[in-house]
Amino acid sequence: MKPVRRALLPVLFVSLLVAGCATESSRSSEPSAPTSPDAPVSDQRDVSSASPGSAAGRGTAIIEVRNPAGEPLPVIPVEVRTVDWPMPAELSEDIARMTDARGEYTWTDLPPGEYEFTVRIPGEDVAATRRVTVVAEEISRVPMTLG
């Protein structure tokens, strides 16, 4: 009986660990990782099939970054700053926000108000800034040109 217990103990431990991870991931509202190199890398939900403003009273901004020829610019950092009001805590988190393969970054659940979005080419003094008023339950497209 002792060898059976020794063999089952690691199996039981791994089973509990896997079950705990599965439970935690089912509770998480985080999106899954992109499944292909061309999949969007935005850390936000796809809004193409969702209703505007993924949360009641919130809006969405889609930042579209292109070069002067109109080609999308992927992996461009996107920054946000509120204009004339304090930055909400959820927007001040220090996480990398980059454009995807289409040169877009989708920012959902934005409280209504005026924002200033900035994009810049890493390592260069090339940047673009644009002010946008985000309206509840609406999607705002924010075209920006770098280069």
Which band of pLDDT confidence, cut at 50, 70 and 90, is reported for residue 2?
low
Q: What is the pLDDT of residue 3?
A: 53
Task: Decide if 82 is inside a domain.
Answer: yes
pTM here is: 0.62
Copy the structure tokens of residue 105: 């970054």
Average pLDDT of span 30-40: 45
- The domain of 111 spans 59-145
Task: Decide if 76 is inside a domain.
Answer: yes
Other CB atoms within 10 A of residue 94 CB: 4
- Please check the confidence at residue 4 and state whether its pLDDT lies above 50: no
Q: Are 91 and 115 in contact (CB under 8 A)?
A: no
What is the Cα–Cα distance from 22 to 2, expressed in whole angstroms? 30
Average pLDDT of span 54-76: 91
Task: Decide if 64 is inside a domain.
Answer: yes
Q: What is the pLDDT of residue 145?
A: 97
The CA–CA distances, whole Å, from 113 to 27, 84, 89, 138 equal: 30, 9, 15, 12
DSSP 85-131: SPPPGGGS-----B--TTSEEEEEEEPSEEEEEEEE-TTSS-EEEEE
Number of domains making up the chain: 1
Q: Are 119 and 146 in contact (CB under 8 A)?
A: yes
Task: Decide if 43 is inside a domain.
Answer: no
* Span 82-136, pLDDT tens digits: 999 898 888 888 788 999 999 999 999 999 999 999 999 999 999 999 999 999 9
DSSP symbol at 52: S
* Span 8-29, pLDDT tens digits: 445 444 444 444 544 444 444 4
CATH number at residue 113: 2.60.40.1120
Q: What is the pLDDT of residue 31?
A: 44
